[in-house]
Structure 1
Amino acid sequence: MATVVERERKYSADEGFRLPDLTGCGGVATVSDATALDLDAVYLDTADLRLARSGFALRRRTGGHDAGWHLKVGAAGGARTEYQFPAGADDVDPPAELVALFRAAARGRAVAPAARVTNHRMERRLLDDRGRVLAEVVEDTVEGRDLVTGERQAWREIEVELVDGDDRLLDAVESRLRAAGSRPVAVSKSHRALAGRLAAAAEATAPDPVVAYALAQRDALIANHPGARQGDEDAVHDMRVAVRRLRATLRTFRGLWDRRESEAVRAELRWLGGRLGTVRDAQVMAARLTDAVRAEPVELVLGPVAARVAERFAADLATALDELRRTFDSDRYPELLTRLDRLLEGPTARTADARWVTRRVRRALSRADDRLDRALDGPPAEEADGALHEARKAYKNARYAVEVREPGAGKPAAALAGRLKELQDLLGAHHDSVVTREVLRRQALRAYADGENTFTYGILHARQATAADRDLRAVPAARDRARRRKVRRWLKS
């Protein structure tokens, strides 16, 4: 399976449009002659178009340079990840490798032909003065048909896709194209072919700010599933954060939903977040310790410290990724997503007006403030680190609650969210140092048992302790900044 990242922009074009001269745009020296291609793609989706609604497009295409199965993830008109897999002559079902990547978007359901798009394409390459291909520009004459309703559409569009060029080239080409009469569009061909059914699905939901925030987090979870399955660090992180935000939102604004069902979904999200967290923690700790070892003067690194760190976390990460993939392949995972859909897309128990939402935000902030104050007022030494960690988690929940109000409250809410993140990051750095010291202690015990020098582990442990003290000393000032009257004044309205 090949994976590519598309960086393209799309434009509408009427019958009278003529492609302008594009030489001089962002280093373009010549434009190649046009190559004609005939493309025929059948797009597959669930009966309720969950793939398209989640920003996924699954197709089997014939014609062109890359005929076969394609799975695109991301919004049209920007950077999209495309997974490509060859297709046999008689293939009617997507390969298992692709099914695993869109399983979350499909909620584990079967897919079937949903739309057919045929396209006569005129393809040109934009080259610099060394003959390097900077981008490809295509003129498409398209016909799309919804295979369920029979609705047909025909249109023309222009696509500009980067090869070795950059965004400055895209900007320059866009200026020429717009001057010639085209207009940017951010709708894929498959979305356009399915426009009628997608519009009907969109009309079914008009969420309030809390539900809209939760839906955005669900969509982020789904969008990051393919990358997380492959162990991509950013995707694992973003998916884990989306799960955290969902759990926090369901708790902070719990009065919106049936309590029993929302708590059950929260528990399932905690299960999923735990699997993601094991992977992410191994990734973060491996990078953290690798960087720490590299930062030490070579004369202070005694023994195979770097190698032992690499071995330990390579094994941990492999085990965690295997468990995460088993989670994704389980029946429990799509069942969780389906329950989440029903909860967020169904009727709510009450209306989330701005005043009620603000009261809930204040309550979340008060809870976090109380936990931090108790943690800083001097609990027993053996409990202090745990108390600070609980305060950190409470501030995460509070920040997510503030984010719900950002669309309506604007800059004041954004400013408070920024102050809370600063405080949360300090508490997070302190917690990371606590965890890292325990990992180093265990690594030192293993090294000692194997007859290796443990000097460097002690050095690294001491540096982590120093960093923890520094971060902790900075917390009171960050707390005061987050509690300034002008930062929280909007919460009194």
Structure 2
Amino acid sequence: MATVVERERKYSGDEGFRLPDLAGCGGVETVSDATTLDLDAVYWDTADLRLARSAFALRRRTGGHDAGWHLKVGAAGGARTEHQFPAGPDDQEPPAELAALYRAAARGAAVAPAARVRTRRRERRLLDRDGRTLAEVAEDSVESEDLVSGVRQAWHEVEVELVEGDEALLDAVADRLRGAGARPVPVSKSHRALGDRLAAIRPAAPDPAVAPVLDYLTAQRDALIGNHPAALGGDEDAVHDMRVATRRLRSTLRTFRGLWDRRESAALRAELRWLGGHLGAVRDTQVLAARLADAVHAEPDELVLGPVAARIAERFAADLASALDELRAALGTDRYPALLARLDALVEGPTARPVDERWVTRRVRRAVTRADRRLDRALTGAGGPARDVALHEARRATKAARYAVEVRAPAGGKPAGKLVTRLKDLQDVLGARQDSVVTRETLRRQALRAYAAGENTFTYGILHARQAGVAERDLPVLLRARDRARKRKVRRWLKR
């Protein structure tokens, strides 16, 4: 299976629109002659169009340079990841490799042909002075049919896709096309083909008071689904983003738990904790492995005694492989799509009670106050390991406060945005301290293994001492971050 990142923009024009000369746009020296292609694509989706609603597009296409099965992830108009798989002449179902990637978007449901799109394409290449292809420009005459409703459409559009060019080239081409009367098209061909059915199943608009909460939850659910394909491959950013999404979902469901049935909300938080545990095992291993590798590399050669770097690499490679296997197994269970389906019901259905904006703001204020109290207790309580535990709890409360403020940030204006930033800064300082605690314990265990193997443990002691020193030096930084997060001017809006 091949995976490519597609960066393209789409445009349409009125009757009589003509493609302007694009030479001179963003380093374009010449434009090639047109090549005509006939493309025939059948798009597959669930009965309730969950793939399209999740910004996924699954198709089997004939014609063109890359005929076969394609799975596109991401909304039209931005960077989209496309997974390509060869198609056999008698294929009746999408290949299992692709099915694993869209399983979350489909909520585990079966997919079937949903729309057919036929395209007569006139394609030109935009070349620089060295003959490199910077981008491809396609003039498309499109005919579509919704295979369920029978609705047919026909339209023309222009598609500009980067090859070796950059965003500046796309901007320059956009200016030239707009000058000729073209308009940006915000949706893909498959979305346009399915437009009537998509509009018919769009959830009703929520009450304005709770809309910010539901919008926030929806964005985190979509982050889970959108990062699922890359996380299966162990992509660090995707695993991180999915883990953050689970944390934000859990925290928001807890902060605003009065909006839903308490039992269902608590059960969903427990399922998110299960998923977050598998994501965290992978992500923590990735982060700690990089942290220790950097720490060893930073030491002078004369202080690195024995195969320290090799032993650390071996240990974390095995741990990461095991954690990834367990994550993939979890994402392949029925439990995972069931979790997503329950989340759909919660964010797309009615809330259990009517509330006003003041109710939402009070919940945000409580989360911030709770974080303040946790941090104050941690800083004034006992030192040593007990303080480390208390500061870790304060970090978790600060994170919950930040997520709560993020819900109301659009309405809170600039002060709310500043409070989000300052809570994040405070969270990062507390996180660095907790990282030091975890790293020291890992080094202690690694030193015990080295000792048992008859290896020199000197370097592990050096690294342990340096991590302890970092924790102590961070205390003044922590106090400054706390004070900045508590400034009256960034919190005044919470008292409205």
TM superposition score category, shorter chain reference: over 0.9
1:196-275 equivalent positions in 2, closer than 5 A:
196-206=196-206, 208-275=211-278
Residues 2 and 280 from structure 1, CA distance in 2 versus in 1: closer, same or farther, beyond 3 angstroms?
same
- How far apart, CA to CA, are the structure 1 residues paired with 2:139 and 2:5? 21
Cα distance, 1:297 vs structure 2: 1.6
2:491 alignment partner AA: R
Cα distance, 1:302 vs structure 2: 1.6
Q: Indicate the RMSD between aligned Cα atoms, in angstroms.
A: 1.0
| Aligned residue in 2 for 1:492 | 495
Which string of whole-angstrom CA distances, capped at 9 and with x for unpartnered residues, describes residues 93-141 of structure 1? 0000000000000000000111111000011111111111111111101
Cα distance, 1:198 vs structure 2: 1.0
Cα distance, 1:472 vs structure 2: 2.3
- How far apart, CA to CA, are the structure 2 residues paired with 1:100 and 1:25? 41
- How far apart, CA to CA, are the structure 1 residues paired with 2:238 and 2:345? 25
Cα distance, 1:204 vs structure 2: 3.1
Cα distance, 1:349 vs structure 2: 1.1
- How far apart, CA to CA, are the structure 2 residues paired with 1:119 and 1:442? 61
- How far apart, CA to CA, are the structure 2 residues paired with 1:127 and 1:352? 58
- How far apart, CA to CA, are the structure 2 residues paired with 1:327 and 1:298? 42
| Aligned residue in 2 for 1:465 | 468
The DSSP-based 3-state class of the residue aligned with 1:60 is strand
Cα distance, 1:191 vs structure 2: 0.3
| Aligned residue in 1 for 2:385 | 382
Query: Which of these residues, 310, 316, 320, is aligned with residue 313 of structure 2?
Result: 310
Cα distance, 1:203 vs structure 2: 4.5
| Aligned residue in 2 for 1:477 | 480
Residues 1:447 and 2:450 are matched in the alignment: yes
Residues 203 and 260 from structure 1, CA distance in 2 versus in 1: closer, same or farther, beyond 3 angstroms?
closer
1:38 alignment partner AA: D
Cα distance, 1:344 vs structure 2: 1.5
- How far apart, CA to CA, are the structure 1 residues paired with 2:192 and 2:148? 14
Cα distance, 1:143 vs structure 2: 1.0
1:26-45 equivalent positions in 2, closer than 5 A:
26-45=26-45
Which segment drifts farther, 410-419 or 316-325? 410-419
8 Å contact 2:22–2:173 — kept in the other structure?
yes
- How far apart, CA to CA, are the structure 1 residues paired with 2:15 and 2:141? 10
Cα distance, 1:199 vs structure 2: 1.2
The DSSP-based 3-state class of the residue aligned with 2:187 is coil
Cα distance, 1:211 vs structure 2: 1.0
1:274-423 equivalent positions in 2, closer than 5 A:
274-423=277-426
8 Å contact 1:447–1:454 — kept in the other structure?
yes
The DSSP-based 3-state class of the residue aligned with 2:92 is coil
- How far apart, CA to CA, are the structure 2 residues paired with 1:472 and 1:228? 35
Residues 1:436 and 2:439 are matched in the alignment: yes
2:222 alignment partner AA: D
| Aligned residue in 2 for 1:90 | 90
8 Å contact 1:68–1:86 — kept in the other structure?
yes
5+ long unaligned stretches in structure 1: none
The DSSP-based 3-state class of the residue aligned with 1:61 is strand
8 Å contact 1:5–1:80 — kept in the other structure?
yes
8 Å contact 2:126–2:135 — kept in the other structure?
yes
| Aligned residue in 2 for 1:81 | 81
Cα distance, 1:343 vs structure 2: 1.4
Residues 1:161 and 2:161 are matched in the alignment: yes
Cα distance, 1:205 vs structure 2: 4.3
5+ long unaligned stretches in structure 2: none
The DSSP-based 3-state class of the residue aligned with 2:202 is helix
| Aligned residue in 1 for 2:429 | 426
| Aligned residue in 2 for 1:151 | 151
1:229 alignment partner AA: L
Q: How many residues align?
A: 493
Cα distance, 1:380 vs structure 2: 4.8
1:397 alignment partner AA: A
The DSSP-based 3-state class of the residue aligned with 1:23 is coil
Which string of whole-angstrom CA distances, capped at 9 and with x for unpartnered residues, describes residues 138-181 of structure 1? 11011111111111111111111111111111111111111111
Which segment drifts farther, 261-270 or 403-412? 403-412
Cα distance, 1:352 vs structure 2: 4.0
Which string of whole-angstrom CA distances, capped at 9 and with x for unpartnered residues, describes residues 235-291 of structure 1? 000000000000000000000000000000000000000000000001101111111
2:436 alignment partner AA: S
8 Å contact 1:15–1:156 — kept in the other structure?
no
- How far apart, CA to CA, are the structure 2 residues paired with 1:103 and 1:415? 38
1:125 alignment partner AA: R
The DSSP-based 3-state class of the residue aligned with 2:201 is helix
2:394 alignment partner AA: A
8 Å contact 1:209–1:352 — kept in the other structure?
no
- How far apart, CA to CA, are the structure 2 residues paired with 1:443 and 1:15? 71
Cα distance, 1:300 vs structure 2: 1.7
8 Å contact 1:427–1:472 — kept in the other structure?
no
8 Å contact 2:203–2:348 — kept in the other structure?
no
Give % identity: 77
| Aligned residue in 2 for 1:21 | 21
TM-score (norm 2): 0.98
Cα distance, 1:379 vs structure 2: 2.2
1:189-200 equivalent positions in 2, closer than 5 A:
189-200=189-200
- How far apart, CA to CA, are the structure 1 residues paired with 2:200 and 2:127? 43
